[in-house]
Structure 1
Amino acid sequence: MVIIRKYFAIVGLIICFLSSMTPFLKVPIKGNWNLYQVDAYLFFITMLILGIIALLFFVRAVRAYQWMTRLSVCWYLVSITAVWFKINNYFGWGFADKLLSKSLHMRWGWIVYLIGILLLLLSTKKIVSTNE
């Protein structure tokens, strides 16, 4: 049987939703960009996944909640990899890409988002039923 640690889940959801407003990318002239400014599709898919996780938490669909938290971990890895590759191969030219990759930097928003995702992942616990 799988149970949800409610405090981990609520804090993880709050951190994940609030992390979308933290700086994810440092752009030289424009300043810090949040997740929406980095990529709108990335933002909307991330918020959709988090919204489904929140819905599953409130309707107590524990198995589906557990699978969606795992999907959110995979989505985090895909999104951070996609942003990294976009920074390092933006134009497809060697000189411009090297210049761009030196000027754009990942920010601390990714770490905040990772903490929220890890709390969501740790919020499910499998317990052994003693009914015989």
Structure 2
Amino acid sequence: MYILRKPIALLGVAAAALSTIFCPFLKVPIKGNWNLYETDTSLFLITLGILGLAVLFFVSRKIAAFRFVSIAFFIWTILGLVAVYFKINNYFGMKLVDGLLAKTLHIKWGWAVLILSAVIMVLSVGKVKEVK
């Protein structure tokens, strides 16, 4: 049986939703900081879709499903960070140009906020011994 710590879960969901919009995820030299939507639109939409599922299961009190979606969200954020990193380092397929691009584009602290909020969501669900 699982128990859901509702304030902690809401904190994780709110931090994840707000970080995708307001936190910088990528530093582009001329344009400045990009949020997740400007970094990759499909990554942004899938991230908010997974968060929407988490909110749906939170409201309908499906704790096991919320736990599963929270773990999937954590894996998705790690996968998104790795995908953006490899996209920066292997964009053109030419070593010289990719090296120059990798030196100009920098991953920012928004990824840390998103991953931390995913960890908070995962840790908000705990196992409890059943009482007889």
What is the TM-score of this pair, normalised by structure 2? 0.98
Percent identity, aligned pairs only? 44
Superposition misfits of 4+ residues, deviation over 6 angstroms: none
Alpha-carbon distance in 1 for matches of 2:71, 2:38: 25
Distance across 2 between alignment mates of 1:94 and 1:12? 39
Matches within 5 A, 1:100-111: 100-111=101-112
Provide the secondary structure at the position in 1 that maps to 2:71. Answer: helix
Q: What displacement does 1:74 show?
A: 0.9
Q: Deviations over 1:59-105 (max 9, x none)?
A: 00111111001101110111000000000001001111000000000
Distance 1:83 1:3 in 2: 34
C-alpha distance in 1, partners of 2:12/2:74? 12
CA RMSD of aligned residues (A): 0.6
Provide structure 2 residue ranges, at least 5 long, that are not aligned to the other structure.
none
Partner of 1:95: 96
Compute the TM-score of the two structures, normalised by the length of structure 1.
0.98
SS of the counterpart of 1:129? coil
TM-superposed CA distance for 1:114, in Å, is 1.2
Cα shift at 1:130: 1.9
Structure-1 residue corresponding to 2:7: 7
Unaligned runs of 5+ in 1: none
Cα distance between partner residues in 2 of 1:108 and 1:59: 33
Residue identity matched to 1:14: A
Deviation at 1:35, TM superposition (A): 0.2
Where do residues 113-132 of structure 1 align in structure 2 (5 Å cutoff)? 113-131=114-132
Q: How far apart in 2 are the matches of 1:72 and 1:115?
A: 11
